[in-house]
Amino acid sequence: MPLAASISVQQSLLLSVLQQMREQADVGIAVALTSANPDEGVTTSVVSLVEGLQRDPVTRTLEVDATVLRRLAIEPSDIVQSVSPTGSEGIYVLNPAPSHNPGLWEGNLQYRKECLEILRKSFTYIVVDCPAISASGDALNIAPVVDGTVLVVESGRTTKDQFSRAERSIEFAGGKLIGSILNKRTYPVPEWLFTKL
């Protein structure tokens, strides 16, 4: 199976899960993507997921960089004013805002809940791009306020122990792991077949 087909199958499954979650919710849903280690392809997976969610023209999807949330220090009621459209129809981003109260996002669970609740009222899906758990606490800070977390796993690099540790960390933080994405998988030709080519 070629690499593109593998990503497509995974994306379709994840899209189905998110669409089912959305059908059961009164407002938009929020999901965070992270990994156990840096450079495992989280941002690429976020972009692919956001593009997949936009197949429905009435869907409004907000793509959020967790580092922008970390610096967020505005009134929750003003958060939608910090959103702008991208070049793609129905896709929006949260823009950085000057921070007059650094640490507000990280130190205040109620603030995080209020901000996400307001965004849920304006967007069908909110997809948060988080740094690796081993490099930053962003994914663990947002885990209790999103509807679920997806772990991006790099084929041949992420160990079972690293995956288990990341999963436990998310659950210990009050989050829920809703799936994983196997990334950067290659399909090498078996040597016995290669000799016949």
Report field, pTM of the whole predicted structure over 0.75: yes
Asked if pLDDT for residue 36 goes beyond 90, the answer is yes
CA–CA dist 151, 42 (Å, integer):
8
Structure tokens at 117: 């609740």
Report the CATH number at residue 34: 3.40.50.300
Mean pLDDT of all residues in 11-24:
85
Q: Are 71 and 99 in contact (CB under 8 A)?
A: yes
Residue numbers of the domain that contains 68: 3-194
CA–CA dist 85, 181 (Å, integer):
27
Report the 3 state secondary structure along 48-116.
HHHHHHCCCCCCCEEEEEHHHHHCCCCCHHHHHHHEEECCCCCEEEECCCCCCCCCHHHHCHHHHHHHH
CA–CA dist 104, 151 (Å, integer):
26
Distance linking the first and last C-alpha atoms of the chain? 17
Q: Which residue has the higher pLDDT, 100 or 50?
A: 50
Q: What is the number of domains present in the chain? A: 1
Q: What is the pLDDT of residues 119-163, one digit of tens each?
A: 999 999 999 999 999 999 999 999 999 999 999 988 888 888 999
